[in-house]
Amino acid sequence: MKKKRSFELLHLTAVVTWGAVYFLTIYHSTFAGNGIVYHISQWGFLIAYLSNFYLSDENDVRVSNHLFMAAEIIMALCAFYLGREPVIYILFIMIAAQLPYHFTLVPALGILAVCNTLCFLIMKLEWSSGWQNSITQAILFGTFQLFAVGSSRVSVKESQAKEALTQLNATLNSTRELLDQAARQDERLRISRDLHDVSGHTMTALILKLEYASQVAQNDTTKQQVDAALEIAKQLLQDVRGSVSEFRNDNELDLLEAIEKMSDSFDQIEFTIDLPKSVRFGSYQQIKTLLFCVQEAVTNAIRHGRASRIHISGEHKSGEISITIHNNGRGRESYLPGNGLTGMQERIASLAGSVKVLAAKTGWTVRLCIPERQVFPND
């Protein structure tokens, strides 16, 4: 929400800036004879600017952004040509501030160089402006454009760094939860071994001694007391064995807790997680692989699809465990597997499982399937 409010404020200040430029040129009325075309150019620039943010095609946002950017540049050049006022150069500062969000540094500077060259030619050839004035205006507003590009580029880099930090924090939280579970599992196994190896053997020796004492008892009263102690010792041994079995059986890892820890790091994303309690794992390799794949699917949904809602669900039936990750981000009906998806397929294949991707115009669905139980020699 905070990021959205920041962009709303940015658009508001941009509209105010455009309004100041527009009404200043109207006040000076330097576009006599071309008034209608000038107004169309100015309003066309504003519409293209707002459309760049609010009406971009979710299916191919990069293409639509580039088209709207081209429309902004054309409308700004037309307004500059007809308005015959250096103040209209401010429109190109607005364009410069947007370029780092859609282009890398070199293409952005190239676009500005072309725009400034055309504006210089317009001032020199059409406005009959002197060389000194034309060069001064081009250098002055060119430096403003460079400042706008630099500021926006810093903002983009900070946003990317924050996004990467958030994803890293999510990975660390989920991995820490998984390691905590593994540590608790190891501790339970250690306690169960100690109970079995120490207490179990001691109780067995005690039972043997009591059985012998019962056989050699000299009178009935002594024998009854020994037999009672023998029954208590046998019950105690049974309780110890039951505790050992419980410790050994309760050694499954919980993917739900690890995923919830991961989702807590993305405060801008709405997560819904629906994993049945039966989806639990006895193999650290299984849960580690699935957790990595879920993290990769979530990262792709946020980074490439710009998703705002992610739904993670699971099924456990017929000896198979499946995890489904669906997002509402922008999609594409056809795609080429990248390094992330290829890595997911390789990891799941090591568990004799499969990865299915259901691509659509809006939102993608990734489905991970693995056999319920496998034996791993390194676990």
What Cα–Cα distance (Å) separates residue 32 from each residue in 25, 29, 324?
11, 7, 63
Per-residue pLDDT at 321: 83
Per-residue pLDDT at 29: 65
Domain ranges of the chain: 2-129, 188-249, 252-371
Per-residue pLDDT at 76: 92
Per-residue pLDDT at 128: 77
- Judge whether residue 65 has pLDDT over 90: no
Question: Between 158 and 41, whose confidence is greater?
Answer: 41
Lowest-confidence region among 100-109, 138-147, 351-360: 351-360
- Judge whether residue 62 has pLDDT over 60: no
Mean per-residue pLDDT, 204-219: 75
Per-residue pLDDT at 261: 79
Tell me the average pLDDT of the chain: 77
For the chain, the maximum distance between any two Cα atoms, rounded to a whole number of angstroms, is: 132
Residue with tokens 């193999």: 283
Lowest-confidence region among 32-36, 85-89, 289-293, 366-370: 32-36
CB–CB of 297/339 below 8 Å? no
Tokens, residue 29 = 């009325």
Question: Considering the entire predicted model, what is its pTM?
Answer: 0.57
Beta strand pairing call for 365-371 and 320-327: antiparallel
Tokens, residue 324 = 């489904």
Tokens, residue 24 = 């200043």
Per-residue pLDDT at 313: 87
Chain center to CA of 14: 29
pLDDT band at 188 (very low <50, low <70, confident <90, very high): low
Per-residue pLDDT at 361: 67
- Judge whether residue 282 has pLDDT over 60: no
pLDDT band at 75 (very low <50, low <70, confident <90, very high): very high
- Judge whether residue 239 has pLDDT over 50: yes
Cα angle 197-203-207, degrees, rounded to a multiple of 5 = 140
Per-residue pLDDT at 58: 44
φ/ψ bin of 307: left (φ > 0), alpha (ψ from -120 to 50), beta (otherwise): beta
Tell me the residue ranges of DSSP E strands in the chain.
270-274, 309-317, 320-327, 354-358, 365-371
**252-371: CATH architecture:** 2-Layer Sandwich (3.30)
Decide: helix, strand or coil at residue 362: strand
Per-residue pLDDT at 43: 93
Per-residue pLDDT at 78: 92
- Judge whether residue 59 has pLDDT over 50: no
Residues in contact with 79: Cβ distance below 8 Å, sequence separation at least 6, in sequence order: 25, 38, 41, 42, 45, 88, 91
pLDDT tens digits for range 304-318: 777 888 898 888 777
Q: What percent of the chain has pLDDT over 70?
A: 74
What Cα–Cα distance (Å) separates residue 251 from each residue in 16, 72, 173, 189, 309?
63, 61, 21, 8, 33
Q: Would you tell me the crossing angle of helices 131-194 and 220-249 to the nearest 10 degrees?
A: 160
What Cα–Cα distance (Å) separates residue 289 from each residue in 12, 100, 105, 181?
46, 36, 38, 15
Q: What percent of the chain has pLDDT over 90?
A: 10
Per-residue pLDDT at 147: 92
Q: Give CA–CA dist 214/231, Å, rounded.
A: 11
